[in-house]
Amino acid sequence: MNYIVVGCGRVGAELAYSLYRKGHKVSVIDHIATAFNNLHPDFRGRMIEGEALNKDVLHRAGIETADGLACVTNSDTLNAVVAHIARIAYHVTRIVIRNYDPAWRKFHDAFEFHTVSSSTWGAQRIEEMLDHPEMHTVYSAGNGEVEIYEFNIPNHWDGHKLGEILPSENCAPVSITHAGTANLLDSDTIIQKDDIILVSATNDGIQKLRQKLYQQPEG
């Protein structure tokens, strides 16, 4: 596959080298020549110095035959505009852009691009680790709108139904691991102390689950 990475900062350099190691042809664009020093010494892709909005620069990077493009500069405006040009003018179908400033997220979403918001995602992960170490994320979809969480059943819910602790919405069971064996489950599954539960949930759903999980059962 032929990929173009716009921006050779730490994120762009890491992405470009990872794609290259998997056997893809990779072109990296940056307007600062010294930015290419961020690339791993073993990288053998193309390095194009210039402005990504320049037609000649895009052509030198192989935009006309690109299978995918990632815009990962620290300029949210540049990322969106270059991605828009790639989609409209060159019909590139696989496009991912980096959202650097969360305040610009709605602007990126308006273009309906696949967007990775590193600041928002990172802050959310750190908050969870600090405030809720007993329940951690094992998978994050999108920019954390829906995630899969893992937690252990506390003593006071031993012998109860899972449905007693699950919120009625924005939270769905995924699996239960008991005595080393994992199985699918539903709200009628009887849970035991130290069972490992995986649920998928939105932020609202997981907040309600946390609140319920550490309350004593009624009766």
In the structure, what pLDDT confidence band is assigned to residue 123 with cuts at 50, 70 and 90?
Answer: confident
Residue ranges covered by each domain of the chain: 2-119, 132-213
Higher pLDDT residue, 168 or 8? 8
pTM of structure: 0.66
For 8, list phi and psi in degrees, rounded to 5.
-115, 45
Note the pLDDT tens digit of each residue in 41-79.
Answer: 999 999 999 999 999 999 999 999 999 999 999 999 999
Q: How does pLDDT run across 139-183, given as a tens digit for each residue? A: 888 767 898 999 999 999 999 999 999 998 999 999 999 988 999
CA atoms of 85 and 77, how far apart (whole Å) = 12
Identify the pLDDT of residue 175: 95
Which homologous superfamily does the CATH classification assign to the domain defined by 2-119? NAD(P)-binding Rossmann-like Domain (3.40.50.720)
CA distance 7 to 10: 9
Burial of 185 (0-12, 13-18, 19+ CB in 10 A): buried
User: What pLDDT sits at residue 61?
Assistant: 97
Q: How far apart are CA 158 and CA 138, in angstroms?
A: 24
Residue 122 clears pLDDT 90, i.e. is over it: no
Q: Class of the 132-213 domain? A: alpha beta
